[in-house]
Amino acid sequence: MTEFMKTPDFSLLENPNVLNRNKEPARAWYIPYRCRCSALSGAKMINGNAVGAVQANIIAEKNGRYKLLNGDWDFIYCKNKSEVAAALKGMPEISGSIHKDKIKVPSNWQMYGYDVPQYVNSFYPIPLDPPHVPYDNPAGIYYREFQLPETWNKEEIYLNFEGVDTYFYVYINEEFAGASQGAHLPSEFRITELLCPGKNTITVIVFKWAWSTYLEDQDFYRLSGIFRDVYLLARNKDHVRDFEVKTSLDTIQVRLESTAEYGAATLELYDADNRLLSRKDRMIKEKTAEFHFTPENPIRWTAESPYLYTILIHAYNEVIPVRVGLRTVSISTDGEFMINGVPVKLKGVNRHDTNPDTGHYTPLRTILKELLLMKQHNINCIRTSHYPNPPAFLRMCDELGLYVIDETDLETHGTVLGGHEYGKDQSLMFTENPEWRNAFIDRIERMYERDKNCASVVMISLGNESFYGENHREMSRFVKKRDPERIVHYERCENPAEDAIDVYSRMYSSLSFVEEYCANDNNKKPFFLCEYSHAMGNGPGDLQDYWNLFYKYPKAVGGCVWEWADHAVRSVEDPAKVPARRAAYGDAMPQYGQNKESLGTEPFFSYGGWFGDTPNDANFCVDGLVSPDREPSTGLLELKNVIAPVQVEDAGTKDGKPVYYIINRYDFTDLEELNITYRIKTPSKVYRQGTLFVKCAPHETALVTLDFTFPEFSFEEFFVEFRYCLKNDTVWAEAGYELGFTQRKLPVMQTVPETEPTSLMPPLSVTFSGENQSGILQAEGEDFKYCFDLDAGHFTSMCFNGVEMLNAPPHFTIYRAPTDNDRYIRGVWNGNFMHLAKEQPYACRILEVNRKYVTLLASYSIAAPTFMPFVKYSVLWVIYGSGEIGAGVTAEVRPGVTVLPRFGLELEMPAGNEQLLYSGFGPGSSYRDMRHYCKKGIHASTVTAEFTPYIFPQETGNHFGTEWAVISDMEGRGLLIKGMPEFEFSALHYTAADLDTTQFAKDLQPRKETIVRIDYKQTGIGSNSCGPELLPEYRFDEKQFCYSFTIKPIFTESTDILRESRTLPGITEETEI
């Protein structure tokens, strides 16, 4: 750079009346080629593997009309516009305060240590003072050289930016080329006259904030810089500037727009295998030409069968490819959302561009991985929250088959939080302020024109959380003028009668609200939840309930789970801060099982506030179905099975054989395309299995009878498991891939458990250390010795074959480490000091002692400082000569306690008890409202594997509907826990306090001991981190309850666990000693 570069016009940063300088009019996205062969090859994004995702760019660059400018750029970081001006003049006296370095394009400069990433949800990061921005407005100066190919000397050259955050100025060879804004929108500049043969330079000055910042208040990390592709296009002087493709179910219409008044154009139509179907020639007159194709035996595009034709546009020595899907989008008179005239359900997610290493730049391979995961988990729809995703993303959606709600880069959420009465100040009501109208329309126009030819785009969204007013109506009018058949979406239009919207969209509505709207026949617009089931941390837990309603009502379109991926930054501890951070834990660290020497040694995922960014919304951005590295969560597995393409329901019996309804939840695919298999089994044995040959049209139901006569009685539960697998290979999964399953319980009565009579048990020796039923009761049998403190009301020792099975006395507890979805109820729990609650013994008395057993009755409460006891309960303890311990609990909850987190016995087993075997819902965590991805059966695991390392530590590892569990060491010595009949349990290397008092998973140090919880019940998960309250049926709000369980030390190698699990002790004698 020289000192002669002209200083930018900084006034543009605060002038919403000047949207850009020298930017080309919006157009469809495309890349021109020099020949037919390259165009056909470059048209396809995906060839069945990740390499194919970048194939198009490689072919485009080789074709000679495309030059990618991604890579290493020189970079200068400036704190404000004065430093920018000085840097452009090359002033040496301030060079020390201006950092010069290399930076990768595309990326965000905060990911390279300039400035810091800031996460805020709805707060503006700057004062609400539009259109003004702070004087200290960071900027990045990007600079690089490039060679102009010799063949381009007589071409028209265009410079394209696909995404820059936020306002930027462009210079070519130190001459001003243009300026633009709209972070996630394309900006194209004609730079022909500014270029010279051979070496050229490009300088881009990007400011962090501008007037446009007020329109980009999305819920994500606030990051800056050139974060999408930058490239040059070489065009003939006369060329096709734009084109629009419209389809019906069997016709294709193409309209060209040329830079020249006249010319000739040829269009070729190819099928999916690149076979030429039709060729048409037209003359371009008055800059336009129209073409019509009617393919023979047309194949329609849907998300289930995304068939694409290819059209090649030959004109002015260029070839432009465009992929075309034959499809229509409409709404029925009854409010059904239709693709190709068929009602569909949108099983969607909200997707942000986010990457833990590159910020808002998401590499194509990562995008492809995401879309493949979505297809594999039965997702068919994406809302591009809250801005257009990269053009390559839409091309992949076209090819893979995903419906897209294309959302405008527009959100003004922070205006409601700015310290004023919203609605009174029209200058802050952007959507009602005519001075901002052109900016609103500019954003919808640039997105619409870019994406208008994509088959995957089924709705156009006017933005997110920008309230509603005349500027939004004008946006809708623009869309309808361009294409009257386009479906317009906007959630903040709360009046379903508004003509500006075609779909009534809400977010986080309760089930009752959904049902009230959908059941009203006067409501004629489809109902859509653009956000629901907030997938933050452990959850969501209400998916099945929502989908029961979506399937119940035709006008319920479905919804998009919030959200797809966790936002986080891969970070390392600042070495300078490590000693102080370690010291801050002090003596408390051993108490929570944490090792301060481990702090700061490994990369970890951080969230808002870690970088000192203020204000911030902490971990509210860690709310995805997949991790920052795109690893599926249990929430995604739950969603996959809830929205699986097949549903099975009981239909009774016929001649003693089970009958089932097989419901086809596909919209366009017959079930004969799947392999549907079944297994009839108990947790321990498979009795019958086979394949069902089901021919069932979309939305229809088939009736099947299984050739199996089940018994009337059984020790174990009988289940039928149906699996639905791909019959053929697809681009996104191989044949045999499981799309989902259903497990149904057969109506087999379970026999009463076998009884082990006390008369057959070994003798029991009972001694006391104190008088008057105090001190330590010691009960000793053939291979065990137990000690029970009659004053404290708990066991102090459980020895089995000389080995201690307890590391600390067991006690009943009510607290769990709050989940993210406990966000609001946590305030109630902690406000009542439930996290400090402890067991308080009242009394313990011996009821009976004889040669074979001893019974104790103890009473307790669980209470915290200041408050009356939350729970009062009694436990009937029985120690048998067999070594088995029985516990019968009767509890009463204080009336003022609305919801308990949980209730159960917590015991701590010594180090080495790592093996886990249980009969219940698994594998994976299960809760009463989040278990549809689990099967009831016998599952093996380890205590270490039971822990899910959520970025923000919280409750995990629970197992709902458990009949028995064994926790043992490597030698097979362990505890068998049996429910009477069921219980919930977990086995972890962490206590609730460990998880509750730690803010990052990196700071957790697993205990060597195993913490086992034997729960009567745990409250459900829900999605209340941003959604409605937990449904009443999933709340632990009982005021009285009873439950029973037994604990018995065993050797797994010498114990028939299945038989033992079906046997309960029974008192048959009363011989006193």
643: exposed, middle or buried (C-beta count within 10 Å: 0-12, 13-18, 19+)? Answer: buried
Question: What span, in angstroms and rounded, lies between the C-alpha atoms of 919 and 1012?
Answer: 16
Report the C-alpha dihedral over residues 828, 832, 836, 837, rounded to 10 degrees.
Answer: -110
Q: Which two structure tokens, joined as six digits, stand for 368? A: 């492809």
DSSP bridge pairs for 877: 856, 887
CB 752 within 8 A of CB 761: no
Mean pLDDT in residue range 588-607: 61
Has residue 1039 got a pLDDT over 70? Answer: yes
Q: Which run of H or E residues covers position 438?
A: helix 437-451
Listed in sequence order, the residues at least 6 apart from 188 whose beta carbon sits closer than 8 Å to its beta carbon are: 23, 24, 27, 158, 159, 160, 161
Q: Which long-range contacts (CB under 8 A, 24 or more apart) does 494-498 make?
A: 494/468, 496/523, 496/525, 498/468
Q: Which two structure tokens, joined as six digits, stand for 444? A: 């919808």
Give the pLDDT of residue 1002. Answer: 92
Give the pLDDT of residue 2. Answer: 46
Question: What span, in angstroms and rounded, lies between the C-alpha atoms of 60 and 55?
Answer: 8
Q: Give tens-digit pLDDT for 504-524.
A: 999 999 999 999 999 999 999
Q: Which two structure tokens, joined as six digits, stand for 957? A: 């590892």
Say what the pTM is: 0.95
CB 508 within 8 A of CB 998: no
pLDDT band at 587 (very low <50, low <70, confident <90, very high): very low
Mean pLDDT in residue range 717-740: 97
Question: What span, in angstroms and rounded, lies between the C-alpha atoms of 204 and 202?
Answer: 7
Give the pLDDT of residue 573. Answer: 83
Has residue 120 got a pLDDT over 80? Answer: yes
Question: What span, in angstroms and rounded, lies between the C-alpha atoms of 105 and 122?
Answer: 28
- 240-247 and 252-258 as β-strands: parallel, antiparallel, unpaired? antiparallel
Give the pLDDT of residue 857. Answer: 98
Highest-confidence range of 701-715, 857-871, 1059-1073, by mean pLDDT? Answer: 857-871
Radius of gyration of the chain from Cα atoms? Answer: 33
If DSSP codes are grouped into helix, strand and coil, which group holds residue 599? coil
Q: Which two structure tokens, joined as six digits, stand for 837? A: 């609650």
Number of other residues whose CB lies within 10 A of the CB of residue 475: 28
- 1040-1051 and 915-922 as β-strands: parallel, antiparallel, unpaired? unpaired
Mean pLDDT in residue range 535-555: 97
pLDDT band at 168 (very low <50, low <70, confident <90, very high): very high
Give the pLDDT of residue 1006. Answer: 96
CB 465 within 8 A of CB 413: yes
Of 37-46, 153-162, 346-355, 442-451, give the lowest mean pLDDT range: 37-46
Specify the higher pLDDT residue, 575 or 263: 263
Has residue 592 got a pLDDT over 50? Answer: no
Q: Give tens-digit pLDDT for 631-673.
A: 999 999 999 999 999 999 999 999 989 999 999 999 999 999 9
Of 370, 407, 474, 531, the catalytic one is 531
Has residue 126 got a pLDDT over 60? Answer: yes
If DSSP codes are grouped into helix, strand and coil, which group holds residue 1013? strand
Has residue 582 got a pLDDT over 80? Answer: no
Has residue 763 got a pLDDT over 60? Answer: yes
Tokens 């149906």 locate to: 722
Mean pLDDT taken over the chain: 93
What DSSP character marks residue 762? P
Identify each DSSP E strand in 2-90 by its residue range: 66-68, 71-78
Q: Give tens-digit pLDDT for 214-248.
A: 999 999 999 999 999 999 999 999 999 999 999 99
* CA angle, residues 824, 1014, 1001, in degrees to nearest 5: 50
Give the pLDDT of residue 591. Answer: 34
Widest pairwise Cα distance in the chain: 113
What DSSP character marks residue 389? P
pLDDT band at 444 (very low <50, low <70, confident <90, very high): very high
Q: Give tens-digit pLDDT for 773-829.
A: 789 999 999 999 999 999 999 999 999 999 999 999 999 999 999 999 999 999 999
- 187-190 and 118-120 as β-strands: parallel, antiparallel, unpaired? unpaired
DSSP bridge pairs for 885: 879, 1047
Has residue 757 got a pLDDT over 90? Answer: no
pLDDT band at 95 (very low <50, low <70, confident <90, very high): very low
Q: Which two structure tokens, joined as six digits, stand for 1064? A: 């309960």
Taking Cα atoms as reference points, which of 508, 442, 504 lies closest to residue 468? 504
Q: Give tens-digit pLDDT for 245-292.
A: 999 999 999 999 999 999 999 999 999 999 999 999 999 999 999 999
Give the pLDDT of residue 51. Answer: 40
Taking Cα atoms as reference points, which of 318, 409, 708, 336 lies closest to residue 555? 336
Taking Cα atoms as reference points, which of 889, 878, 886, 1046 lies closest to residue 975? 1046
Q: What domains appear along the chain, each with residue ranges and CATH number?
A: 10-33+41-235 (2.60.120.260), 240-324 (2.60.40.10), 329-561 (3.20.20.80), 569-606 (no CATH), 645-751 (2.60.40.10), 755-1066 (2.70.98.10)
Give the pLDDT of residue 1072. Answer: 42
Has residue 426 got a pLDDT over 80? Answer: no
The question of whether 531 is a catalytic residue gets the answer yes
Of 456-470, 620-634, 699-713, 904-918, give the lowest mean pLDDT range: 699-713
pLDDT band at 96 (very low <50, low <70, confident <90, very high): very low
Give the pLDDT of residue 64. Answer: 82
Give the pLDDT of residue 1055. Answer: 86
pLDDT band at 751 (very low <50, low <70, confident <90, very high): confident
Q: Which two structure tokens, joined as six digits, stand for 233? A: 């296009």
The question of whether 494 is a catalytic residue gets the answer no
Helices 36-43 and 55-62, packing angle to 10 deg: 160
Of 465, 474, 563, 1009, the catalytic one is 465
Q: How far is CA 699 from the centre of its chain?
A: 27
pLDDT band at 759 (very low <50, low <70, confident <90, very high): confident
Give the pLDDT of residue 356. Answer: 97
DSSP letter string, 527-593: EEEEEES---SS----HHHHHHHHHH-TTEEEEEES-SB---EEE---TTTHHHHHHHHTTHHHHTT
Listed in sequence order, the residues at least 6 apart from 922 whose beta carbon sits closer than 8 Å to its beta carbon are: 934, 935, 937, 939, 941, 959
If DSSP codes are grouped into helix, strand and coil, which group holds residue 14? helix
pLDDT band at 600 (very low <50, low <70, confident <90, very high): low
Of 44-53, 260-269, 508-517, 1048-1057, give the lowest mean pLDDT range: 44-53
Mean pLDDT in residue range 180-208: 98
Q: How far is CA 276 from the centre of its chain?
A: 42
Give the pLDDT of residue 596. Answer: 53
Q: Give rounded-to-5 percent helix, strand, coil for the chain.
A: 20, 40, 45
Of 300-304, 570-574, 680-684, give the lowest mean pLDDT range: 570-574
Q: Which two structure tokens, joined as six digits, stand for 725? A: 């697998």
Q: Which residues of 430-444 are buried (b: 16+ CB within 10 A; e: fewer)?
A: bbbbeebbbbbbbbb
Question: What span, in angstroms and rounded, lies between the C-alpha atoms of 787 and 749?
Answer: 39
Listed in sequence order, the residues at least 6 apart from 135 whose beta carbon sits closer than 8 Å to its beta carbon are: 80, 81
* CA angle, residues 930, 933, 937, in degrees to nearest 5: 105
Has residue 755 got a pLDDT over 60? Answer: yes
Mean pLDDT in residue range 102-125: 96
Number of other residues whose CB lies within 10 A of the CB of residue 386: 24
Of 149-158, 487-496, 1050-1059, give the lowest mean pLDDT range: 1050-1059
Taking Cα atoms as reference points, which of 377, 368, 376 lies closest to residue 399? 368
Question: What span, in angstroms and rounded, lies between the C-alpha atoms of 782 and 898?
Answer: 46
* CA angle, residues 442, 443, 449, in degrees to nearest 5: 85
DSSP bridge pairs for 496: none
Specify the higher pLDDT residue, 760 or 385: 385
